[in-house]
Structure 1
Amino acid sequence: MAGRGTSVCLTLVSFAVLPFVSADQNITTTTGEMVSLPCRAPNNKIRVIEWRRPDLKPELVLVYRGGRFVVGDQHPSFKNRVDLQERQMKDGNVSLMLKNVTNSDDGTYKCRVFMEEAHSWEHISSITLSVVDPPGQPGGHTEDGSVGLKVGLPVFGLLVVAVAIVF
Structure 2
Amino acid sequence: MKDGDVSLILMNVTFNDTGTYECRVKTGNHHKKRANLGGDPISIITLRVFPPYQKVITAEPGQNAALTCRAPNNNSSITGVEWSRADLGDEYVLLYRDGRFDPEIQHPSYKNRVDLQDRQMKDGDVSLILNDVTINDAGAYECRVKTGTNIRKRANLDGDPISIITLRVDPPGRPEDGSVGLIVGLSVTAVLLVAAVVGFLVYKKHKQQQSQDSYQPPVEL
Q: Give deviations 1:89-113, integer Å, cap 9, x for gaps.
A: 0110000000000000000100001
Q: Equivalents in 2 of 1:36, 1:63: separation in Å?
A: 16
Q: Give deviations 1:71-90, integer Å, cap 9, x for gaps.
A: 00100000000000000001
| Identity over aligned pairs, percent | 49
Structure 1 partner of 2:162:
124
Number of matched pairs = 124
Give the ranges of 4+ consecutive aligned residues of structure 1 lying more than 3 Å apart after TM superposition.
Answer: 119-122
SS at match of 2:109: helix
2:67 pairs with 1:37 = yes
Q: Which has the higher contact order (CA 8 A, sep 6+)?
A: 1
- Larger CA deviation: 86-95 vs 127-136: 127-136
Q: Equivalents in 2 of 1:92, 1:19: separation in Å?
A: 14
Please list every run of 5 or more consecutive structure 1 residues that lacks an aligned counterpart in the other structure. Answer: 1-12, 138-167
Structure 1 partner of 2:211:
none
Q: Deviation of residue 68 (structure 1)? A: 1.4
Structure 1 partner of 2:81:
49
SS at match of 1:63: strand
Matches of residues 73-88 of structure 1 in structure 2 within 5 Å? 73-88=105-120
Greater C-alpha Rg: 2
Q: Equivalents in 2 of 1:17, 1:68: separation in Å?
A: 28
Considering only aligned residues, what root-mean-square deviation do their CA atoms show, in Å?
Answer: 2.5
SS at match of 2:105: coil
Please list every run of 5 or more consecutive structure 2 residues that lacks an aligned counterpart in the other structure. Answer: 1-8, 16-49, 176-221
TM normalised by structure 1 equals 0.66
2:133 pairs with 1:104 = no
